Chain A
Amino acid sequence: MSTLVLSRRAVTGWPWLLLAAIVVAAVAVPLGAGEQLADFSRALQPPSAAHPAGTDHFGYDLLIRTAQGLQISLLTAASCAVVATVLGALIGVGSALAGGWVDAAVMRVVDGVNALPHLVVGIVIAAMWRGEPLAIIASIGLTHWPAVARVVRAELLAVTDAGWVQTSRLAGASRWFIARHHLVPTVTGQAVVAMVMLLPHAVWHESTLSFLGVGLSPDRASLGTLLGQARGNILAGAWWTLVVPAGSLILTALSFAAAASETRRRSEPPSGRVW
C-alpha cells in the first residue's frame, strides 16, 4: 500500500522536478560561464563544439544568453503572478466579507477588468514606461488579478456555507478560530493554485511584450527580447537564434502547464475531508 502511494507521488511530481531543473539550469549556466563580453568577430556563428547553441549577432554564446534570459523571464513572471495573486486575494476576500452591494459592485469591476484585451492594454502601458521592469510587472499584475479574486471569493463563500464549518460554528467555535482553521487554509490553497496557473500565462505575456519591443531592453534580455532579435536574424538564415530560446520558452510553458494542472488536481475541493 505504502509503495503504491509513494510511486504515485513520484509520478505526479515530475512537472515540479522538470521546473526545478529548468530553474537550476537558468541560475547555474550563467554562473558557471562567468562574465560574457560582446565580440562581433564571432557574431552569428552556427552551432559548434565551442558554442553548442551558436552565437547571436552580438557574438554572445546563445546557450548562456538563453539561460540568462530564462532567469529574467522566470523572475518577472513570478513577480507578476505574486502581484496579481495578492491583489486578487485581497479584493476577493474583501468583497466576500463585505457582501451586499459592495460585493456586487466589486464583481462588476472584476468583470470589466477581466473583459479588457490584456495584451493591448499591456502594450500601451509598457510602451509608456519603456524598458522598465516595474511597468511590465504592473501591466501584467494589474490586469490579471480578476481571475484570482473570482476564485478566492467563490471559495470563501462556499466554505462559509459548508457543512463542516457550520458544524464548527454550532460547536461553539469563535469567528477567529473558524477564520484561522477553516477559511484561511482553503483560501490560501485556492490562491496558490490560481498563482501557479497564472505563471505560464505571465511568462507568455512578458515574453510577448519583450518580443514586440515594448518589454525589457537587450541589456536585460529576457527570452522575449532574444526572440525579438532572432526575428531579424532568421531572415539572414541564422535559424539557431530561434531554436534554443524558443525551445526553452516552450519547455518552460509546458512544464508550468503540467504543474498547474497537477496542483489543481491535488487541491480539488475537500470531499468530506476536513482540512
Chain B
Amino acid sequence: MTHDEVLALLPTLVNGTLEPDRREELERHLEDCAPCRAELAAERRLSAALATAPPAPAEDLLARTLARIDAEEAERAPARAPRREPAWERIARAWNRWWRPLPVPARVLVAVQFALLLVLGGAVLQQPEPEGELRTLSGTAGGAPAAGRGRLLVLFEEDAPAGEVRRLLRAAGASIVDGPSAAGYYAVEVSVGDDPAVDLTAAAAALAARPDLVELASPVPRGAP
C-alpha cells in the first residue's frame, strides 16, 4: 500500500467504515510510517471535534412529538373511518339507474306494485325483532366471514381514545370490517381455528377485558343473518 493510498484511506479508518482486510494492511503501514501516524492523529482530532455532542434537546421534545402522534391517531379513529355508503343509498342508486329509462306506463305499474310491497312489508315489520340491529350488522360487509375468520360485534366506549382502541384491536389480532351502525356497533373480524366458537369467545373476552374501551363484545355465531 502506497503512502498516498494510506492517506486516502485514513478518514475511513477513523470513522470505522474501512473494510477489515484493508484495515490490517493500513495498520501495518502505520507501524513503520511516522508521517502517516501524525496524519492519523490529526484526522482523529477532526473527527472528535465534529462528533461532539450538542447541548441536550428540550426536555419536552418527546412529549410534544407524542402529542402530535396522538392528534394524528385521533383523526384516524374508527369513529371517523371513511364513511361506507349505506345499503339504502346503494339500492337507491341502482333503482334510479333501472327506473329512469322505463316508459311512463311501466313506471306506473311498478309504482303500484311497490306501494303494495310497502304495505305488506310494513305489516311484517310490525313483528318484534329482538337484537335487530345486531343481527343486521352481523350479516353486512360482504356476507359471512371468509374461511378461518370469525366475527364479533363490538360497542366501544363513547370516549375511548382512538389510539388505545387501535392498539387493543391490533393486540387481539382483530380488524374492523364494518360499522358503526346507527347504534354505534362495529363488526370486527378475527382469525379462528378448528373451533371457531372457542376462539371467538376468547377474542371477545380479550376485548371485554378493557372495560374502559369496550362496552360490549359479542361473538356472532357462524351462519347468523
* Same complex origin of A and B: no
Residues of A bordering B, CB below 8 Å: none
Residues of B bordering A, CB below 8 Å: none
